[in-house]
Structure 1
Amino acid sequence: MIVCKVPQQKVSNFSGFTMIELIVSITVISILISLLMPAIQSVRETSRRLECQSHLKQIGIALHNYHDVNSAFPGKQYWSRYDRALSSYLEVSSDATYSKIFSCPSDSYAFGNLKAGEISYAMSDGVHDLRKIGDGFWGRSDFRKARDFIDGMSQTAAISEHIMRPDNSLLNSVDVTKLNRRERRWFQHRLPQPVSTSKEMADGCVTPTLLTTKIKPNVIIYSHLVKPNGFDCFNGYFQPQTTRAEAVTAMSDHPGGVNVLMADGSVHFVADTISREIWWAIGTRDGSEVVNSLFY
């Protein structure tokens, strides 16, 4: 009898993915990552916003300690360096160059440079600018005292965010005709023709006919003429005598609004959608406006 032996096939102990299984796995992981990233970014931004609010609360406490000692808030000089005035009340050395207290973690270009004024927070000089006196928290010609806040300190904005722009060397080479909205905030916009009232200027500053003319100023004074996260705006080619020459607007890199320190030391996140009437009302210290306490 002839016996035929059939050769046995070797069974491999190696197991793995097929190409299709690998592609499916990578696709599923990519989808999960894409779903998780917005949530992670949102948590990070929430943390940055809370840290920013913490900085403003510390500044608010320092402002009131300064008032207790000097019987007034910092002011008077046009380029009033309130950050330097408050240094000793924030445990910051008087000769310090940097302090993270004056830098919002969401502000990409603010490093708390006290020497150059590269900080995230600016003092409010109000809405109207008649005779350059200002009707807000900061006094151009005097030092505001607690008794000067006729509207109430809880109803008067003291300090808000104003994002820093990148270095001039970068912006000088930028094509201003091809900027997205965020990048447009790095520039000051000019009304085609100068106007003589605050309302006309506020209306003009939010129209699409604005002309971008120059890099916006990095300053530590802002106004309430334009609502939060609008544009810095220049009033035509010259300054009429009856309203301000430019509007420096509260801005932040927080989605949807800005953090605002009120004169009483409280801090609120104010939405971009706040009505102009209420934004103007909390911008003035003695306008006798009636403000809903839930403006934020």
Structure 2
Amino acid sequence: MNRSCNTRSKAFTLIELLVVVAIVAVLIGLLLPAVQKVRAAAARMKCADNLKQLALAVHGYHDARGRLPENSLGGSGGPYGPQTQAWSWLARILPYAEQDPLYRQTGLPSGTLYAGRAAVATPVALFLCPSDSAGPPRDDAADLGVWASPAIPAAPTNYKGVSGANWGWGDPRWRNPAADGNWDGLNQGDGVFYRTDWKAPKGLLAVTDGTSNTLLVGESLPEHTHWLAWAYANSAAATCAIPLNVQYPADDDYSWKWEYSTTFRSKHPGGGNFALADGSVRFVANSIDLTTYRALATIRGGEVVSVP
């Protein structure tokens, strides 16, 4: 006798399916912030490693030449443009950062930026923070692509030398003369790097405040400034006279104003990375006291201070 069995296949009901979808959505919602935090932490660590390599390259240059690498913008803030030999300290450390072929392409020490324009337009991974999408070479760089002729495209940098804490432009809140009364942080900074520092060559012994207490290189965001070219002396330094990641005016074209574009800022939550003159790297919080921040930026201010 044939016996037939009525069997029902087990299947999800619509309600069960919706519950499963809801659970998966909740899990993804919980997981994404964790993944983003891990990525942010990894990017911050990579950025710190970049700064470490830059500091070591600065020390390598110093050991070989007996002085710190310099910015060579001529005169008192000029002449400007691609027809000059205004190479930055970043360009000069290329051989000590495993970039000797690119260094030779610049034509340093005697070539102009225009003659070395292929190098000027070459992105250097070491000069870029992984948290920022600095992008390809830009043709709107101040002096190289806007104000001077012939214009040349410029590859950006996320890292700039610390010019010190003296400053005299823009918002009165940030004006801060040096101990000798000098406020010109662009041409006579009281830190390690400024755009005409070739006129006053110095070694690490000049950092009398202590290399472990002096900021050397910090983070910048090319998207917020037209002074962005790694190769150019007029774009390779920033000031600590103005707070880290200072708030921009909402209704202002800040990208052309020194008091906002020549500052340190990053996309790392809560602050930014800095290399110190001894080669170490520290994360500096946005909440750092401005007096302390400024004191860390000077090389011989005589302040008793350390990175918090």
Same fold (TM over 0.5): yes
Of 218, 229, 246, the residue aligned with 1:230 is: 246
How many residues align? The count is 229
Equivalent-residue separation in structure 2 for 1:77 and 1:39 (angstroms): 45
Structure 2 residue 231 is matched with structure 1 residue 220: no
Equivalent-residue separation in structure 1 for 2:38 and 2:137 (angstroms): 24
Q: Deviations for 1:188-239, whole angstroms, at most 9, x for unmatched residues? A: xxxxxxxxxxxxxxxxxxxxxxxxxxx6532321100112111579xx9xxx
State the match for 1:161 in structure 2.
Answer: 219
* Correspondences of 1:1-296 after superposition (within 5 Å): 11-78=6-73, 80-92=87-99, 93=101, 94=103, 95=105, 97-110=122-135, 116-129=154-167, 130-131=183-184, 132-139=187-194, 140=196, 141-165=199-223, 186=224, 217-218=227-228, 219-231=235-247, 246=259, 248-291=262-305, 293-295=306-308
Shift of 1:24: 0.9
Equivalent-residue separation in structure 2 for 1:126 and 1:65 (angstroms): 22
- Name the SS for the 1:246 alignment partner: helix
Shift of 1:12: 3.9
Equivalent-residue separation in structure 2 for 1:55 and 1:134 (angstroms): 24
- Between stretches 86-95 and 22-31, larger displacement belongs to 86-95
The RMSD of aligned alpha carbons is 2.5
Rg bigger for which structure? 1
Stretches of structure 2 lacking an aligned partner (at least 5 in a row) = 74-85, 106-118, 139-152, 168-182, 229-234
Equivalent-residue separation in structure 2 for 1:158 and 1:12 (angstroms): 77
Q: 1:226 to 1:58 in 2, by over 3 A?
A: same
Shift of 1:10: 6.6
Equivalent-residue separation in structure 2 for 1:289 and 1:71 (angstroms): 26
Q: 1:121 to 1:75 in 2, by over 3 A?
A: same
Shift of 1:80: 4.7
Normalised TM-score (structure 1) = 0.71
Q: 1:264 to 1:111 in 2, by over 3 A?
A: farther
Equivalent-residue separation in structure 1 for 2:71 and 2:57 (angstroms): 18
Shift of 1:246: 3.1
Normalised TM-score (structure 2) = 0.68
- Name the SS for the 2:242 alignment partner: coil
Asked if the contact 1:281/1:287 (under 8 Å) is kept, the reply is yes
More strand per residue: 1
Shift of 1:32: 0.6
Shift of 1:117: 4.3
Q: Deviations for 1:145-200, whole angstroms, at most 9, x for unmatched residues? A: 112111111111110000120xxxxxxxxxxxxxxxxxxxx3xxxxxxxxxxxxxx
